[in-house]
């Protein structure tokens, strides 16, 4: 450990950051060498975001020293950090959706050159050369808003490279990617490492990037709790260090013998999305639906809840068909849907936690045309306790909650309506490891109470931990059905990819 | 087809507006053959000078992610104050000095918007709604509320300078004033700023995402400040041209026009959420609005239907592409 600091690209010593009385980082030592990939793991609130902010010059440390390229820097600001080659790729990529790929890639570089005039030819040439450097082909003139998520991420990487990044910090790089996209990202990271560019992954979902990493740092409550070569860690040990406890995931208990069929989907088809999908869901059963991005899993999930109108087929709940393509009909039939993207599809972020839960129950608390606000709110707060939402105040905006707690609020809203079938699209996307296990507990509890649950996910451990059966979709068709307790994660990965 | 035209050509606002303009002209020519003449053309071009300059200004604000409703108040303030000042101090000043004064006053008023928006970070609509009232009230209270028809001689002189004039074969008089060159100048200058300078690209960038712009080191405040000062200057120019061509400084004119101007810009494809807008689209939007305001009667629609027609055009012209986009998104889901 002592020798590693020589020639380090970034070397932080004893870095501490306090916000008022809260210690976000507590005497952390941290080094990254050129051409090295490093994992910085930690749950939400562990101090990893603070560490990125200090490295990128957004925040100043309370104590400790930071050296970049062997020079100690006392007054880092975003411009100085960027000039020293430290680039952060935020989770939202910070791109300009209305501008072309070429301009997005070249913008910061051209800004850094203090140009007055904009040179489109230079922007295109620069963008082309960087795209070639990482070996991807994206149309230079395409508007960024029209690109899939994985390509947006590549554009953000290219932008960092265009301004001669020596260290690229990637915040939650894999949460929005499918397994295949993660593979191609890793291939690019390997290429960058060969060129001497260092990469720092900051995430709570790191198992899948471990293979390209040399080193792992784990933060918990602002302190470094583990450090070592990546080969010493696996998914389980990372989780243990991050949470400070073992989180064993018990597989679901078997569906009660003879429980009746709740949901019956027959020959559901939608041109260009899914084709002739049939399945049945029993009361108390958790059914997984998996497949790569574009396999039709999300369209199918939306079709069950009426957000996508199928061209043909029927959906029956308790033997009764209900109108397709109509979310209100689906909801009143007893189907609930928690979308993948809570932020834009599921929650009213600026509204209070209690209101977010209560909004699904407005009609149930109507008294002679007026709203019984007291009953409505006490029901909402009751659900907060039942789902163990850590909320300082039910009147605080949902935005102020962590990802795991936001997901619980979204769940609580549906549960308060007592649904028969709950469709969960990516139930633990953007949620930290501890909360994830809790959400899986909730899913298993729901099933035990007789609700039919459909989990749409490409997170294999999640599917195995929650599902009795897993349907695999490919190009809009169900191509495989797997019993949850009969496969290991590797086998499942293989059957998904084949 | 797809090889010749850029992708998405048929779903663009520009295309839609151009088609409506062409259809309108065909119908108008069929019902009145005299419509298709140099007289109509120069009338329409003349009518689009002030509206066009203001629309280019409003477009710039929309691209930056804001909205400005105060520019008509800025325009009338600059025009009237300049006229009063010139008459009081030096009535014989050459027209370009008078213009410069009006542009300068406009820029200063724009700077006031800029200070509130860029400096204090207040919402653009609120600020400009406020300054719209303040500027106009200040003008009527402290500068004057009398119409002035005895303009400085050089302003009258300016309105008589013609690029071309003559009589058509049918015996109708036509003329295109040099004031039209001001619109051309504004269009070229604004195009250059938007597409050939880093400042212009930064305006697009902050309209696309303020947070991203800040993170890569764009000076968001300075960029916004420039936008509102530039818009003020253009409003000052439009105001003084309006006064000169109308041969009267009327402190009650122009205010009320702001929604037509924003309508023209939105028809041309600029989006209220920021980041999108083209000069071609804006000019086509202006042409359509001017056509409706001046020639509706020719196609047999009473002129009282003007605002209804403009409203329907906005609903159709902006609703159709939005609906198409929504359908495309639904198909992709």
B-chain residues within 8 Å CB-CB of A110? 198
B-chain residues within 8 Å CB-CB of A97? 208-209, 275
Higher pLDDT, B60 or B317: B60
Indicate if the pLDDT at residue A154 is higher than 70.
yes
Interface test with B, best of A103, A111, A298, A339 (most B CBs within 10 A): A111
By the 10 Å C-beta count (0-12 exposed, 13-18 middle, 19+ buried), A383 is classed as buried
Between CA A110 and CA A113 the distance in angstroms is 5
CA proximity to A163, closest of A90, A92, A81, A98: A81
Q: What confidence score (pLDDT) does residue A368 get?
A: 79
Tokens standing for residue A139? 């149309």
DSSP B175: E
Between CA A250 and CA A241 the distance in angstroms is 19
Higher pLDDT, B326 or A184: A184
Q: Answer for the pair A419, A334: CB distance below 8 angstroms, yes or no.
A: yes
Higher pLDDT, A495 or A105: A105
**CB-based contact, B281 to chain A, within 8 Å:** no
Alpha helices (H) along chain B: 13-31, 38-63, 71-89, 95-114, 124-138, 153-159, 179-196, 198-208, 210-215, 220-246, 258-267, 279-295, 306-332
Q: What confidence score (pLDDT) does residue B245 get?
A: 93
The DSSP element (H or E) to which A219 belongs, if any, is strand A215-220
Between CA B310 and CA B40 the distance in angstroms is 20
Beta strands A198-203 and A37-41 are parallel
Indicate if the pLDDT at residue B275 is higher than 70.
yes
Give the pLDDT mean for A190-205: 88
**For residue range A384-397, what is the model confidence (pLDDT) as tens digits?**
887 777 766 778 78
Tokens standing for residue B12? 């663009």
Entry field: residues in chain A? 498
Instruction: Work out the percent of chain A whose per-residue pLDDT is above 90.
Output: 26
Q: What confidence score (pLDDT) does residue A1 get?
A: 35
**For residue range A322-340, what is the model confidence (pLDDT) as tens digits?**
888 888 888 888 898 888 7
Phi then psi dihedrals of residue A101, to 5 deg: -55, -45
CA A122, distance to chain mean position in Å, is: 35
Question: Which chain B residue has the Cα nearest residue A114?
Answer: B198
Between CA A62 and CA A450 the distance in angstroms is 53
CA distance B217 to chain A (A): 7
Q: Which residues contact B258 (CB under 8 A, 6 or more apart)?
A: B54, B58, B69, B70, B71, B72, B132
Q: Answer for the pair A259, A58: CB distance below 8 angstroms, yes or no.
A: no
CA proximity to B242, closest of B319, B183, B310, B327: B183
Between CA B235 and CA B255 the distance in angstroms is 12
The DSSP element (H or E) to which A482 belongs, if any, is strand A477-483
CA proximity to A298, closest of A120, A149, A104, A107: A149
CB contact under 8 A, B201 and A103: yes
**CB-based contact, B165 to chain A, within 8 Å:** no
Phi-psi region of A196 (alpha: psi -120 to 50; beta: other; left: phi over 0): left
Phi then psi dihedrals of residue A86, to 5 deg: -95, 115
CA A48, distance to chain mean position in Å, is: 16
Distances (CA, A) of A23 to A56, A64, B159: 19, 14, 71
Q: Answer for the pair A297, A472: CB distance below 8 angstroms, yes or no.
A: no
Q: E-strand spans in A84-142?
A: 86-89
CA proximity to B160, closest of B184, B183, B176, B174: B176
Alpha helices (H) along A210-352: 235-243, 297-304, 327-333
CB contact under 8 A, B217 and A79: yes
Of B196, B208, B217, the CB nearest to A96: B208
Q: Answer for the pair A463, A435: CB distance below 8 angstroms, yes or no.
A: no
Instruction: Work out the percent of chain A whose per-residue pLDDT is above 70.
Output: 93
User: Between helices B71-89 and B38-63, what is the axis angle to 10°?
Assistant: 110
A-chain residues within 8 Å CB-CB of B205? 96, 99, 107
CB contact under 8 A, A95 and B209: yes
**CB-based contact, A82 to chain B, within 8 Å:** yes
CA A206, distance to chain mean position in Å, is: 11
Question: Which chain A residue has the Cα nearest residue B209?
Answer: A96
Q: How is A167-213 classified by DSSP, letter by letter?
A: EEEEESTTTT--HHHHHHHHHHHHHHHHTT-EEEEEES--GGGGGG-
Q: What confidence score (pLDDT) does residue A342 get?
A: 66
Q: Answer for the pair A70, A7: CB distance below 8 angstroms, yes or no.
A: yes
Opening angle at CA B5, ends B4 and B8, nearest 5: 150
The DSSP element (H or E) to which A132 belongs, if any, is helix A120-133
**CB-based contact, B331 to chain A, within 8 Å:** yes
Indicate if the pLDDT at residue A6 is higher than 60.
no
**CB-based contact, A272 to chain B, within 8 Å:** yes
Structural class in CATH, domain A3-243: alpha beta
Indicate if the pLDDT at residue A247 is higher than 60.
no
CB contact under 8 A, B196 and A118: yes
Indicate if the pLDDT at residue B156 is higher than 60.
yes
A-chain residues within 8 Å CB-CB of B199? 116
Between CA A427 and CA A183 the distance in angstroms is 23
**For residue range A215-246, what is the model confidence (pLDDT) as tens digits?**
999 988 888 888 989 888 887 788 788 877 66
Between CA A144 and CA B276 the distance in angstroms is 13
Beta strands A366-367 and A370-371 are antiparallel
DSSP A426: S
> ipTM beyond 0.90?
no
Q: Return the domain boundaries, chain A.
A: 3-243, 261-497
Between CA A108 and CA A447 the distance in angstroms is 51
**CB-based contact, A183 to chain B, within 8 Å:** no
Opening angle at CA A497, ends A428 and A312, nearest 5: 75
Phi then psi dihedrals of residue A370, to 5 deg: -110, 160
The DSSP element (H or E) to which A388 belongs, if any, is none
**CB-based contact, A99 to chain B, within 8 Å:** yes
| CATH topology assigned to domain A261-497 | Rossmann fold (3.40.50)
Higher pLDDT, B249 or A357: B249
**For residue range B171-204, what is the model confidence (pLDDT) as tens digits?**
888 889 999 999 999 999 999 999 999 999 999 9
Q: What confidence score (pLDDT) does residue A4 get?
A: 39
B-chain residues within 8 Å CB-CB of A95? 209, 212
CA proximity to A9, closest of A227, A210, A230, A196: A196
A-chain residues within 8 Å CB-CB of B197? 116-118
Lowest mean pLDDT among A154-168, A459-473, B319-333: B319-333
Q: What confidence score (pLDDT) does residue B1 get?
A: 40
CA A362, distance to chain mean position in Å, is: 31
Between CA A448 and CA B126 the distance in angstroms is 54
Q: What confidence score (pLDDT) does residue A343 get?
A: 62
CB contact under 8 A, B215 and A94: yes
- Give the count of Cβ contacts less than 8 A between chain A and B: 68
Phi then psi dihedrals of residue A195, to 5 deg: -85, 5
Tokens standing for residue A316? 């029956």
SS3 B172: coil
CB contact under 8 A, A298 and B333: yes
CA proximity to B112, closest of B235, B271, B275: B235
DSSP A256: P
**For residue range B293-320, what is the model confidence (pLDDT) as tens digits?**
888 877 778 878 888 888 888 888 777 7
Indicate if the pLDDT at residue A451 is higher than 70.
yes
Edge-to-edge strands, sheet with A421-425: A335-338, A421-425, A452-456, A286-290, A469-474, A477-483
**For residue range A116-149, what is the model confidence (pLDDT) as tens digits?**
999 999 999 999 999 998 888 999 999 998 888 8
**CB-based contact, A299 to chain B, within 8 Å:** yes
A-chain residues within 8 Å CB-CB of B212? 94-96
């Amino acid at each position: 450990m002592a020798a590693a600091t020589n020639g380090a690209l970034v070397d932080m010593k004893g870095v501490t950051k306090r916000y008022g009385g809260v210690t976000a980082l507590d005497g952390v030592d941290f080094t990254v060498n050129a051409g090295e990939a490093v994992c910085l793991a930690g749950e939400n609130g562990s101090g990893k975001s603070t560490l990125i902010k200090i490295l990128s010059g957004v925040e100043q440390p309370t104590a400790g020293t930071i050296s970049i390229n062997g020079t100690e820097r006392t007054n880092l600001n975003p411009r100085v950090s960027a000039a020293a080659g430290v680039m952060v790729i935020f989770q939202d990529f910070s791109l300009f959706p209305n501008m072309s790929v070429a301009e997005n890639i070249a913008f910061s570089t051209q800004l850094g050159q203090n140009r007055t005039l904009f040179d489109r030819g230079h922007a295109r040439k620069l963008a082309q050369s960087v795209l070639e450097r990482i070996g991807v082909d994206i149309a230079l003139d395409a508007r960024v808003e029209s690109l899939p998520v994985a390509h947006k991420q590549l554009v953000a990487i290219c932008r960092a490279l265009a301004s001669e990044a020596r260290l690229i910090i990637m915040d939650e790089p894999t949460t929005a990617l499918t397994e295949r996209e993660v593979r191609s990202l890793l291939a690019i990271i390997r290429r960058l490492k060969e060129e001497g560019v260092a990469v720092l992954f900051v995430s709570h979902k790191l198992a899948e990037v471990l293979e390209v990493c040399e080193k792992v740092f784990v933060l918990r409550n602002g302190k470094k709790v583990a450090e070592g070569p990546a080969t010493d860690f696996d998914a389980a040990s990372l989780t243990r260090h991050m949470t400070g406890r073992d989180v064993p995931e018990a597989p679901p208990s078997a569906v009660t013998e003879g429980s009746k069929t709740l949901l019956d989907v027959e020959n559901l088809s939608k041109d260009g999305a899914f084709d002739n999908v049939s399945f049945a869901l029993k009361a108390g059963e958790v059914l997984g639906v998996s497949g790569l991005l574009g396999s039709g899993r999300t369209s199918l999930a939306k079709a069950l809840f009426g957000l996508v109108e199928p061209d043909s087929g029927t959906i029956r709940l308790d033997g009764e068909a209900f109108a397709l393509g109509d979310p209100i009909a689906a909801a009143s039939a007893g189907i609930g849907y928690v979308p993948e993207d809570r932020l834009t599809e599921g929650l009213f972020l600026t509204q209070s936690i209690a209101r977010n839960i209560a909004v699904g129950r407005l009609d149930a608390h109507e008294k002679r045309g007026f709203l019984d606000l007291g009953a409505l709110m006490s029901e909402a707060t009751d659900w907060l306790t039942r789902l163990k939402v850590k909320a300082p105040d039910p009147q605080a905006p949902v935005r102020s909650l962590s990802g795991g707690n936001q997901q619980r609020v979204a769940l609580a809203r549906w549960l308060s309506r007592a649904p028969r079938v709950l469709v969960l699209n990516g139930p633990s996307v953007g949620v930290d490891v501890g909360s994830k296990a809790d959400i899986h507990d909730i899913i298993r509890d729901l099933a035990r109470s007789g609700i039919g649950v459909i989990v749409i996910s490409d997170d294999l451990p999640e599917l195995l931990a929650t599902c009795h059966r897993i349907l695999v979709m490919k190009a809009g068709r169900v191509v495989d059905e797997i019993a949850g307790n009969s496969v290991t994660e590797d086998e499942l990965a293989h059957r998904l990819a084949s | 087809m797809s090889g010749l035209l850029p992708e998405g050509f048929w779903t663009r606002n520009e295309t839609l507006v151009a088609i409506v303009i062409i259809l309108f002209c065909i119908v108008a020519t069929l019902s009145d053959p005299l419509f298709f003449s140099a007289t109509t053309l120069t009338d329409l071009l003349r009518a689009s000078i002030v509206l066009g300059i203001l629309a280019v200004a409003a477009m710039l604000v929309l691209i930056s992610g804001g909205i400005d409703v105060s520019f008509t108040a800025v325009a009338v303030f600059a025009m009237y104050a300049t006229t009063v000042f010139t008459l009081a101090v030096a009535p014989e000043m050459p027209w370009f000095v008078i213009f410069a004064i009006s542009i300068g006053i406009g820029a200063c008023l724009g700077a006031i918007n800029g200070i509130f928006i860029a400096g204090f970070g207040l919402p653009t609509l609120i600020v400009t709604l406020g300054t719209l009232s303040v500027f106009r009230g200040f003008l009527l209270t402290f500068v004057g509320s009398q119409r002035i028809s005895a303009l400085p001689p050089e302003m009258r002189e300016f309105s008589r300078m013609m690029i071309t004039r003559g009589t058509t074969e049918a015996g109708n008089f036509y003329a295109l004033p040099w004031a039209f060159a001001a619109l051309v100048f504004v269009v070229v200058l604004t195009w250059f700023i938007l597409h050939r300078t880093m400042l212009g690209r930064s305006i697009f960038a902050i309209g696309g995402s303020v947070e991203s712009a800040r993170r890569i080191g764009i000076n968001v405040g300075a960029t916004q400040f420039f936008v509102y000062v530039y818009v003020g200057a253009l409003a000052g120019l439009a105001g003084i041209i309006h006064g000169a061509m109308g041969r009267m400084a009327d402190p009650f004119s122009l205010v009320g026009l702001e929604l037509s101007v924003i309508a023209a810009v939105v028809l041309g494809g600029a989006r209220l959420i920021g980041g999108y807008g083209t000069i071609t689209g804006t000019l086509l939007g202006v042409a359509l609005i001017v056509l409706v305001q001046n020639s509706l009667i020719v196609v047999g629609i009473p002129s009282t239907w003007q605002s209804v027609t403009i409203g329907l055009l906005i609903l159709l012209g902006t609703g159709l592409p939005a609906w198409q986009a929504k359908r495309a998104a639904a198909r992709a889901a």
